[in-house]
Homo-oligomer: A and B are copies of this chain.
Amino acid sequence: MKAPIRVAVTGAAGNIGYALLFRIASGDCFGKDQPVILQLLEVTPALGKLDGVVMELLDCAFPLVVGIETSDDPNVAFRGANYAFLVGSRPRGPGMERSDLLQVNGSIFTAQGKALNDNAASDIRVCVVGNPCNTNCLIAMNAAKDIPASRFTAMTRLDQNRAVAQIAQKLGQPVSAVSNLAVWGNHSPTMFADFAHATVNRVPVTDLIDEAWLRETFIKTVAQRGKAIIDARGVSSAASAAGAAIDHMADWYHGTAPGAWASVAIASQGWYGIPEGLIFSFPVTIHNGEFTVVEGLKHGDFAQAKLAATLAELQEERAMVASLLG
């Protein structure tokens, strides 16, 4: 039996948290032989609801769950944490400007970054799901001075999974036939789902699908998928966001399969001309918990314009929270 790992989840009583916790507990993320201690953070008014979630977790009698703790204090929830899913964030309220949204989340993620710095295990690995996730991640990373920047990531895997699903559906192929479909940049409508290097059964997607459809319909469908789900379900994506978070962390824990890429937003080290320190999604491979950005990919004019747009948005977001990046 492996030693248990401590897995912190914020926003644990929210819809994504609810969809995420039971899949972590079942072993879907860290494997069927890896016991976990769940450390759940919620805002004070949601602690009662969180108690109900804990009751349901207990009621599943998951053999892998060897402990569950709850708190409204990130210093408690992150104590000894090996993995942290930062799911909770403030959604945009009526009349709220984007800069307001960045600021209010900035204070949450500054506090959480400090709490991770002061309390987490030395091998802590962080996945920020709560939006705007790239910039929230940037803020937390900057607030956690003693944690290597490479331990902070933001989630673009939902965009990648959505993009893979669209290509598979278009061609009537299984999702497992689609490879090397990378998402670049910000997790926002500016993100770039890069079809140019993608293959289906080893054949370039651009040989199989009309490029006009890829440039227009595909890019737009993936970018606007969140809104389409809200329109259909009446509530925003929860289980698919949780599924992407599982995939993101599972790849980080187990490593990527040979030849497979994962889209992960990480602090740039200057790759592809992206300024250092910006949290930007790149295609990566993962081995022993370390990311290696896939280098040497060529970008045509269309891709370069897309990359420039998502970069500009991230730089603008960074400028809006500059005061928090001390």
Contact = CB atoms under 8 A, between A and B. Distances in A.
Interface of A: 18-19, 21-23, 26, 28, 48-49, 51-53, 55-63, 65-66, 158, 161-162, 164-165, 168-169, 174-176, 178, 225, 228-229, 231-234, 237-240, 242-244, 246
Most chain B CB within a 10 A radius of its CB, from A26, A66, A165: A165
Contacts of A169: 58
A47 to B, nearest CB: 10
B239 A48 contact: no
A182 to B, nearest CB: 14
Contacts of A244: 60
Contacts of A21: 239
A233 B49 contact: yes
A123 B233 CA distance: 34
B175 A63 contact: yes
Contact of A23 (B26, B56, B165): B26
Nearest to A54: B232
A261 to B, nearest CB: 13
B58 A165 contact: yes
A233 B53 contact: yes
Contacts of A19: 19, 22
Classify the interface of chain A: helix, strand, loop or mixed.
helix
13 contacts: A21-B239, A22-B239, A23-B23, A49-B234, A52-B231, A56-B233, A56-B240, A57-B240, A59-B161, A61-B161, A61-B162, A61-B168, A66-B174
B239 A55 contact: no
A258 to B, nearest CB: 15
A178 to B, nearest CB: 8
B232 A51 contact: yes
A259 B156 CA distance: 44
Most chain B CB within a 10 A radius of its CB, from A22, A58, A61, A178: A61
A27 B298 CA distance: 37
Given A55-B228, A61-B168, 8 more contacts: A26-B246, A28-B28, A48-B232, A55-B240, A56-B233, A60-B240, A62-B175, A63-B175
Nearest to A237: B56
Top 8 nearest A-B pairs (CB, nearest first) are: A52-B232, A52-B233, A56-B240, A60-B243, A59-B240, A61-B161, A61-B175, A63-B176
A239 B58 contact: no
Most chain B CB within a 10 A radius of its CB, from A28, A56, A57, A225: A56
A52 B61 CA distance: 30
B26 A232 contact: no
